[in-house]
Amino acid sequence: MLDPILKKLKNSLKHKDILIGKEDKYLNAAVLIPLIEMKDEIHVLYQVRSEHIRQGGEIGFPGGGKEEVDNGDYERTAVRETSEELGIEEDKIEVIGHLGTLVTHSDVTIDVFVGVLRIRDLEVLKLNEEVASIFTVPLEVLLKMKTEIHIVDMEVKPSFIVEDGDEVMALSSKSLGLPDKYDRPWVKQKRKVYFYRYDHHIIWGMTGEITKAFLELLND
């Protein structure tokens, strides 16, 4: 009786995503770290988001949310979004590999890929309305760059304040039969935020964390 269950489990676990609840609990996105060879140097491309979109004016990598057309393939998401945002043909984007999956504090998963843009210079790119501008950092410069680390406090709150000032209890310990301590904020923890500065640009937040992971891979 147990054998069929074990057989099914073994088969299912082979293809199971490492992150539990990834498709149900989280919003799923993917980005590409684009490498470009210019004047015999490898550069990393960053883009500045347009002011009218979410996190406008901030720096990131090409990418976006997973869509049905991607058929659950996050590499496909990264390539499609890069093509749309930078105005580059997909056959000029060569994916090298998958760096990993970042889970953000806002419950978004970001699958990070590294790839090469097979273009002669930046002039061939046609940025769409989501991208205000782009810039590149020579990889050699990035590898020598100092990582700034700042600390923020984060906590889980069982309630929130609505526009009229009333407090709404999202999780009531009494009605759910939980200990009273869960009526107060809990899981207070400190979180590291990574910063890189290049010219007048500040690379930080999720992009800083992805940059750090990429540089650690190269320095390993």
Q: pLDDT tens for residues 62-81? A: 999 999 999 989 999 999 99
Task: Determine the Cα–Cα distance for residues 126 and 135; give it in Å rounded to an integer.
Answer: 14
Q: Are 184 and 158 in contact (CB under 8 A)?
A: yes
Q: Are 136 and 36 in contact (CB under 8 A)?
A: yes
The tens digit of pLDDT for each residue in 75-118 reads: 999 999 999 999 999 999 999 999 999 998 888 999 999 999 99
pLDDT at 82: 98
Domains of the chain (ranges plus CATH)? 20-152+187-219 (3.90.79.10)
- pTM comes to 0.84
Judged against a pLDDT cut of 90, whether residue 25 lies above it is answered with: no
Element (H, E) at 77: helix 74-86
pLDDT at 153: 86
